[in-house]
Amino acid sequence: MSGADPLLFSAFAEHWLLTAFIAFARLGSATLLLPGFGEQAIPPRVKIAFGLVLTLALMPILPIPEPPAALPLFVLLIGLEVMIGIFIGLGARLLLAALHILGAQIGFAAGLSNAFMPNQSNAESGSAIAALLMAGAVALLFATNLHHVILSGLLRSYVILPPGRIIPGDMADQVARLGAGAFYIAATMAAPFFLLSLLVNLGLGVANRVMPAMQVFFVAAPGLIVLGLGVLALTIPALLDLQIEAIADWYRTFVR
């Protein structure tokens, strides 16, 4: 009896580790992309550590299947879980990209674009306005407790997408819809700035025709920046509210 105890403990530990690895495959991969948790400024070690803590906290209530005995089946299950986790995190990341597009449009309209401005949520550079909008969206995400909805959606994803089962056609369709939705949201929110840019540039064109000797660009640039910032100050609450609501709707689809 005493000789069987170490073997029993070893088998239990092995089963628990394999089950935890299956759970971490989805939760950990999603954590790398989740808004607020997977930002570019957060070190990778912190993201992985949060994924491990989240996995350990949710494991008792997760419907994790028995780990396959065959190694190829186990590797296939891990790969499918990673794909599902990336899909869940990528959905919100695509919607959040609308602010990156919007910031670039506002920067061009207000003359505030800078190719050397780092972006807080993406590896590529962006405008100062995009960085401001991204930081505001992440702050609002936690201020409105939207991260609770995100974690609930991640937990409920096991009901809609059981472990080891994916629907490639529907997942690809959802990614395409989210990408199109991001451009639609960006175009909708940037409409006032498009109108501002059109009117200002038309006015500059008329002024240049009337007074060809005047340096219209240098005279109008400060006014254009002030107008752009003024419109941004008036619209930024609505912009962030619309963006946060779009992300919340994406994760509510898993909760419903």
pLDDT tens per residue, range 130-171: 788 888 888 888 888 888 888 888 888 888 888 878 788 788
Confidence (pLDDT) at 146:
84
Q: Mean pLDDT across the chain, nearest whole number? A: 80
What mean pLDDT comes out for the span 14-22?
87
Give the span between the Cα atoms of 127 and 151, in whole angstroms: 30
- pLDDT class of 111 with cuts at 50, 70, 90: low
In terms of Cβ atoms closer than 10 Å to its own Cβ (0-12, 13-18, 19+), residue 207 is: middle
Q: Convert 151-178 into a string of H (helix), E (strand) and C (coil).
A: HHHHHHHHHHCCCCCCCHHHHHHHHHHH
- Crossing angle (nearest 10°) for helices 71-110 and 4-31: 20
- Tell me if 54 sits within 8 A of 27, measured CB to CB: yes
Do the beta carbons of residue 39 and residue 120 sit within 8 Å? yes
Q: What is the pLDDT of residues 212-221, one digit of tens each?
A: 777 766 777 7
Cα torsion 201, 203, 206, 209: sign: negative
Say if residue 11's pLDDT is above 80: no
pLDDT for position 9:
66
pLDDT above 80: residue 233: yes
- Percent of the chain exceeding pLDDT 70 equals 87
Q: Kindly give the interhelix angle for 71-110 and 216-255, rounded to the nearest 10 degrees.
A: 150
Q: Report pLDDT for 174.
A: 82
Question: Is the pLDDT confidence value at 256 over 70?
Answer: no
Q: Are the C-beta atoms of residues 231 and 196 closer than 8 Å to each other? A: yes
Return the pLDDT at 116.
44
